[in-house]
Chains A and B, each alone.
Chain A
Amino acid sequence: MDFAIQTIISALSFGSFYALGALGIGLLFSVLRLINFAHGDFITLGGYALIVPSSAVVAAALIGGFHPVLVIVIIVAFVVILALLTYFLIFQYVQNSSPATMMIVSFALGYTLQNIVVMIYGGRPKAVNLFPELTGQVQLSDGVGVQILQLVIIAVTWILLIALVLFFRRTRAGVQMRAAAEDFRMARMLGVRGKRLIALAFILSGALAGIMSLLFVTQKGVLTFEMGVPIMLFFFIATVIGGMGSLVGAVVGGYAVGIASVVLSAVLPEDIRPFRDACVFLIVIIVLLWRPQGLVLKKASQERV
Chain B
Amino acid sequence: MLLSVENITVHYSRLPALRNVSVEVDEGEIVCIVGPNGAGKSTTLLSISGVLNPTSGEIIFDGQKINGMNPETVARAGISQVPEGRHVFTTLNVEENLRIGTTIRNDRAEIEKDFKRVLETFPVLAERRKQSAGKLSGGEQQMLVIGRALLTNPRIMTIDEPSLGLAPNLVDRVYETLTELRRDRGLTLLIVEQSSERALKSADRLYVLRSGEMQLEGNTADLQDGEKVRQAYFGFEEGTPQEGGVTF
Which residue of the partner chain B has the closest CB to A187? B100
A188 is contacted by which of B72, B80, B91 (Cβ under 8 Å)?
A: B72
Contact (Cβ within 8 A) A175 B100: yes
Contact (Cβ within 8 A) A183 B71: no
C-alpha spacing A205/B147, complex, angstroms:
33
Residues of B close to A191: CB separation below 8 A: 72, 75-76, 103-104, 152
Q: Hey, what's the 0/1 contact readout for A172-215 against B, CB within 8 Å counting as 1?
A: 10011011011101111111111000000000000000000000
Contact (Cβ within 8 A) A188 B70: yes
Contact (Cβ within 8 A) B89 A183: yes
Residues of B close to A179: CB separation below 8 A: 89, 92, 96-97, 100
Decide yes or no whether A300 CB sits under 8 A from chain B.
yes
Decide yes or no whether B142 CB sits under 8 A from chain A.
no
Within 8 A of A (CB), among B46-93: 49, 51, 70-72, 74-76, 80-81, 83, 87, 89-92
A189 is contacted by which of B49, B90, B97 (Cβ under 8 Å)?
A: B49
Decide yes or no whether B148 CB sits under 8 A from chain A.
yes
User: Beyond A182-B90, A300-B91, is A189–B81 a contact (Cβ under 8 Å)?
Assistant: yes
Decide yes or no whether B101 CB sits under 8 A from chain A.
yes
Decide yes or no whether A299 CB sits under 8 A from chain B.
yes
Residue from A181, A183, A186, A189 whose CB has the most chain B CB atoms within 10 Å:
A189
Contact (Cβ within 8 A) B83 A172: no
Within 8 A of B (CB), among A282-305: 298-300, 305
Chain A's interface size range is: 20 to 34
Residues of A close to B173: CB separation below 8 A: none
Residues of A close to B75: CB separation below 8 A: 188-191
Decide yes or no whether B228 CB sits under 8 A from chain A.
no
B103 is contacted by which of A176, A181, A182 (Cβ under 8 Å)?
A: A176
Residues of A close to B51: CB separation below 8 A: 185, 189, 305
Decide yes or no whether B36 CB sits under 8 A from chain A.
no
Residues of A close to B148: CB separation below 8 A: 190
Decide yes or no whether B28 CB sits under 8 A from chain A.
no
User: Beyond A183-B87, A186-B83, A186-B87, is A192–B103 a contact (Cβ under 8 Å)?
Assistant: yes
Residues of B close to A300: CB separation below 8 A: 89-91
Contact (Cβ within 8 A) B91 A190: no
Which residue of the partner chain A has the closest CB to B132? A299
Residues of B close to A298: CB separation below 8 A: 91
Residues of B near any A CB (own CB < 8 A): 49, 51, 70-72, 74-76, 80-81, 83, 87, 89-92, 96-97, 99-101, 103-104, 134, 148-149, 152
Residue pairs across A and B with Cβ atoms less than 8 A apart, 20 shown, are A172-B99, A175-B92, A176-B100, A176-B103, A179-B92, A179-B96, A179-B100, A182-B92, A183-B89, A186-B83, A186-B89, A188-B71, A188-B72, A189-B49, A189-B74, A189-B75, A189-B81, A299-B91, A299-B134, A300-B89
